[in-house]
Amino acid sequence: MNTKRIVFGSPKEVTNPGDDSRSFLFPFTCVETKLAGSPEEVGHTSKHRLIVTIANNRLPAWGYSEPDLGRVLFELGRREVCQRTKSGTLQPDTRVQVHTGNHSKTPPFDASRIVTPDGAAFEVEEERRIGF
């Protein structure tokens, strides 16, 4: 099995003026775990961007404070990045949309239990592919 190490950097808000939503960028790198810490690591590390956009109508319904909202959006996006890594479909850019069609009005997480994005590291095992 091939295992990937994903490490997130400093998040920042990237909302376009006039949008009826808020967008947050979570940059991250990805490298095979067996290369982490080796001299070859830098040459085999890919850079990625995760952008999570939340519709403004979710904000009052969820009621998160500013720091908590960032952690919750990170968790929603992190799960998508891990799933795409697992399936071998991770691309340089990953976008996640949060709106009434895919998230209820109740807050999805206890934000105090979510790690801070900056420096968060995860290992994801890619699924075995059968066939040609």
Residue written as tokens 């085999």? 44
Q: What is the pTM of this model?
A: 0.91
Dmax over CA atoms of the chain, in Å, equals 49
pLDDT bucket at 76, cuts 50 / 70 / 90: very high
Q: What is the pLDDT of residues 12-23, one digit of tens each?
A: 999 999 999 999
Which of 44, 128, 45, 28 has the alpha carbon at shortest distance from 82?
28
**Integer Cα distance of 96 and 88 in angstroms:** 17
pLDDT bucket at 105, cuts 50 / 70 / 90: confident
**Residue 13 confidence (pLDDT):** 96
Residue 71 DSSP symbol:
H
**Upper half-sphere CA count for residue 44 (Cβ side, 13 Å):** 14
**Upper half-sphere CA count for residue 111 (Cβ side, 13 Å):** 16
